[in-house]
Structure 1
């Protein structure tokens, strides 16, 4: 996101470095805590998007699961996030270049590393292989009562949407699943399936947050019942134009503000998910904003943080 020099005072305020703050208040809804959504099953705790990660996320109190879906060469939805298999496994190439059988012969924890207190790095799953699961296997391992967010990554969107839709119909699992993607083409691809529950497109959510922050305008709030998701902290680039050139610097902006939340809720209840919440300070801030759910990398760490929160919340 690019901004001009004139926007700097507002962005500094959004970043929380304006130097001014209001006195602490008490959260009137002392029982409300955002739901914990395990990012890729809890990528900081166990090899991401694996049944091992899913099982341990649930053991550590995750309320929802965020899983990343791609399509194998033989058209099977599988759980994997990076563009190349070399990021997490001992193989190379794209997921869609391999059959399900070939993918499940790989070790999805090959590159998962742990760092000890003395700085020593180990790769514990090279001797304890974990397989790359299919979406069918994942849904079978997850209790029906646990909502699942499927983050669609492969392009083109239509073949993957069709394969996922067929599976969800076979399993009668539409009501368990929410569909998310950073690519707007999935909005169109899933439009053919009225049972599909979709997040608002990321573009629409981002544009509305930017409009609230920079133009003080609430444009076209989502319909009641819609799910929306965006990063709690977002790096923006400040561009200063001079006669002989320009200078650029980065600002850590927080676009989820009380005014933004009011905008999203102005037509009725909208379910808001803040991405990238991994500290107790950010979790408390999300709770004070009455964010519905937060996407975390370590359900294990967040379980302990949530238990340590003050009651009632000291909201600003």
Structure 2
């Protein structure tokens, strides 16, 4: 054999030895299953209150979702100028209202005077909420109104902003004041925000995976070193696919389930896909269409 072949064989042997050694000594740590995630059946979570049926993050949407029997809501939060937490996705109010401006530059009172449903287009193609008052709602009001629902709360403000620097502590204080620890899951696209929040919560609140956590998990799963992966979050809320990453896999679900980390698939709006991912072992779905998901709810509760 040539010199290059011998080197390749040596590298392969060393890699195999490293894998075998890490496998022998590795003891992945399972997450302690939080009370908020102890379900007796697959769950249906309304995305932004059920954004396919009414303006997102509006009381109209939340009420419609509740009428279809959802188990909870997946919402985004931002901080206002007067440091109130509201249920809202974007940094500006441009997309949902007929006004422009940043959430951070307006008080809760000012924001509630806007029509949050101005640009909402219903399934029939018209915009029925332009003549109605659709107010932006605070997180406090939601938690005090829906005391029997699960809330997956996503911190949208970036950690390098003033609002983002305040949000983890503000959110923790509100949860603690209302004593709703067991119906809350806190997440964020910014994994740093999840870590900051947990400095206050001290693992007493269920945590959802941020973008960095998701990339770390899928990389471990697709490599030969998945046995070295130790999660630091309690729930993965993921789409079926994002970029080059495919999360739609029964094996991926099992990989995380073996660590006591359930998978919840987001923005699933057709019954066939809902039923399939539940059969694969997903803990449930997040949907814009709670009316469609009602059929799944009826099926899993029979």
TM over 0.5: yes
- Equivalent of residue 256 in structure 1, options 219, 230, 248: 248
Q: 1 CA distance for matches of 2:299 and 2:86? A: 36
Q: How does 1:92-103 map to 2 (within 5 A)?
A: 92-103=100-111
Give the secondary-structure state (helix, strand or coil) at the position aligned to 2:117. Answer: coil
Q: Match of 2:3?
A: none
List gaps (5 residues or longer) in structure 2: 1-39
Report the CA distance shift for 1:77/1:220 in structure 2 as closer, same or farther (over 3 A). Answer: farther
Q: Match of 2:168?
A: 161
Are the aligned partners of 1:211 and 1:217 in contact in 2 as well (CA < 8 Å)? yes
- Equivalent of residue 269 in structure 2, options 274, 278, 298: 278
- Equivalent of residue 293 in structure 2, options 283, 302, 306: 302
Q: 2 CA distance for matches of 1:222 and 1:272? A: 16
Report the CA distance shift for 1:128/1:183 in structure 2 as closer, same or farther (over 3 A). Answer: same
Report the CA distance shift for 1:219/1:87 in structure 2 as closer, same or farther (over 3 A). Answer: farther
CA RMSD of aligned residues (A): 2.3
Question: Which structure's residues are more often strand, by fraction?
Answer: 1
- Equivalent of residue 95 in structure 2, options 60, 74, 87: 87
Q: Residues 102-159 of structure 1, C-alpha deviation per residue, up to 9 Å, x if partnerless? A: 001111111111243xxxx3211111111001111111111x2211111110123331
Give the secondary-structure state (helix, strand or coil) at the position aligned to 1:126. Answer: coil
The offset of 1:299, in angstroms, is 0.6
**TM-score using structure 2 length:** 0.78
The offset of 1:67, in angstroms, is 1.2
Are the aligned partners of 2:68 and 2:294 in contact in 1 as well (CA < 8 Å)? yes
Q: 1 CA distance for matches of 2:299 and 2:44? A: 15
Report the CA distance shift for 1:283/1:110 in structure 2 as closer, same or farther (over 3 A). Answer: same
Q: How many residues align?
A: 256
Question: Which structure's residues are more often helix, by fraction?
Answer: 2
Are the aligned partners of 2:220 and 2:229 in contact in 1 as well (CA < 8 Å)? no
| Larger RCO of the pair (alpha carbons < 8 Å, separation 6+) | 1
The offset of 1:78, in angstroms, is 0.5
List gaps (5 residues or longer) in structure 1: 1-31, 237-252, 312-316
**TM-score using structure 1 length:** 0.74
Q: 2 CA distance for matches of 1:163 and 1:123? A: 35
Q: 2 CA distance for matches of 1:159 and 1:182? A: 16
Q: 2 CA distance for matches of 1:33 and 1:296? A: 17
Q: 2 CA distance for matches of 1:305 and 1:35? A: 9
